[in-house]
Amino acid sequence: MSEHTNLLIIGAGPAGLAAALAAAPRAARIVLLDDNPLPGGQIWRDGPQAKVPAQARRLREQVLACRNVHCYSGTRVIAQPGPDTLLVEDAERGWQIRYDRLILCTGARELLLPFPGWTLPGVTGAGGLQALIKAGLPVHEQRIVIAGSGPLLLASAATAKANGARVLRIAEQASPAAVAGFAAQLPRWPQKLLQSFSLFDRQYRSASHVLAALGSDRLEGVRLMQNGKIVEIACDRLACGFGLIPNIQLAQALGCAVAHDAVAVNNWQETTLPGVYAAGECTGFGGSERALVEGAIAGHAAVGNRQAAQRLLRQRARWHGFADALNKAFSLDPALKSLATADTLVCRCEDVPYSALAGHGSWREAKLASRCGMGACQGRVCGAATRHLFGWQPSAPRPPFSPARIDTLLCLEETPGA
């Protein structure tokens, strides 16, 4: 089974939705697919306990109202059977999609760094906790510590408190000077300044980072380094994330060039592959505003409307400035590379400890010797961690890009265009 579309958009977060809406007036058929149940991506994740922003609801409604835009939810990319063709799978079937133009809006994921106890039940990523709560996880009256780096810590804390949790501490690894310097620049982006007021939390501490999660069968507390002093806090949950990193695996597999750990694009959001564009956090982390304008530029450019794209370039530059300030202020302290001890698991899927990796010189060498990166997550977690710890660059993924059913893989035998 196969289908053809003029424009295929992978990812229905802010960038993907904006790209679809921008391209809709000029494209006969657009397919927008995402592996989540509903459009919105991670930042606008919907769910039983989610409060989706009005802007997100409006954009989603506008896209769904376009008769030439076909949204496929719960759908993942499995392989590339041939040029301009992708094999995809949902809960019921697998099929090939042929496209004239492609826009990658694959977003970003949390950087999770290993530390003693990070595999205990009750320990999650900061964004992971936020997603779980939105999906219905009860946290009422639970004691929560949030640690790591970046504004996501405050957003996760706000979500937890709104659902009845007791946030005992927000530990930000960046220095007081870095945080203050970033805050001083926020008047350049008034809406971000207003947002910062709503997210302020008196439990926020800079120059603080996790040392260990404490407990035997499950999390019982957390040990923090706080302004040079070790403190321990009893808690029920620890949410720890060290910022976001672009999801570049699909772009790499297709052959797109990567620069600064993100998909490389030109002025029109086009990658090094002609006819393939990228937008949003897969091109670099910078928030929903940056993702929206990049998605719109990519959508216009993909359907040949460069005049409309041109009008958005100044707005994109403004939000690139915000992204630069954000990433500089919350750059990770080199001390975080020493959190893991010899027996700390780095690859959770295959139970590979730090000591089994430290003596190797590359990702490939470590993978062959220890099975690191060969588990269910296919190196998405440990690959990013070893990149930070050792400077290794994980190789481009090989198909299948995600676990797939046998009947889906049999679709690879189909002749494209048949």
- Domain identity same for 259 and 317: yes
Is 26 a member of any domain?
yes
- Domain identity same for 118 and 226: yes
Domain stops at, among 209, 242, 275: 242
- Domain identity same for 144 and 263: no
Query: Does residue 381 contact residue 325 with C-beta atoms inside 8 Å?
Result: no
- Domain identity same for 170 and 188: yes
Q: Tell me which residue range forms the domain holding 166.
A: 112-242
The pLDDT tens digits for 314-325 are: 999 999 999 999
- Domain identity same for 262 and 355: no
**For residues 393 and 351, which has the higher predicted lDDT (pLDDT)?**
351
Q: Buried b / exposed e across 58-68, counting CB within 10 Å, b at 16+?
A: ebbeebeebeb
Q: What is the pLDDT of residue 398?
A: 85
The pLDDT tens digits for 356-369 are: 999 899 999 999 99
- Domain identity same for 205 and 225: yes
Instruction: List Cβ neighbours of 74 (8 Å cut-off, separation of 6 or more).
Output: 34, 35, 36, 37, 90, 91
Helix then strand count (H, E) for the chain reads: 13, 21
| Structure token pair of residue 61 | 């409604």
- Domain identity same for 119 and 231: yes
Is 404 a member of any domain?
no
- Domain identity same for 231 and 276: no
The pLDDT tens digits for 12-54 are: 999 999 999 999 999 999 999 999 888 877 777 776 776 777 8
Give the CATH number, domain containing residue 135. 3.50.50.60
- Domain identity same for 231 and 253: no
| Structure token pair of residue 12 | 């229905």
Q: For residue 275, which of 309, 308, 298 has the smallest C-alpha distance?
A: 298
| Structure token pair of residue 54 | 């009005």
Is 290 a member of any domain?
yes
Decide: helix, strand or coil at residue 92.
Answer: coil
Type of residue at 202: R
In eight-state DSSP terms, residue 201 is -
- Domain identity same for 122 and 233: yes
Query: Does residue 297 contact residue 268 with C-beta atoms inside 8 Å?
Result: yes
Burial class from Cβ neighbours inside 10 Å (0-12, 13-18, 19+) for residue 347 reads buried
- Domain identity same for 260 and 295: yes
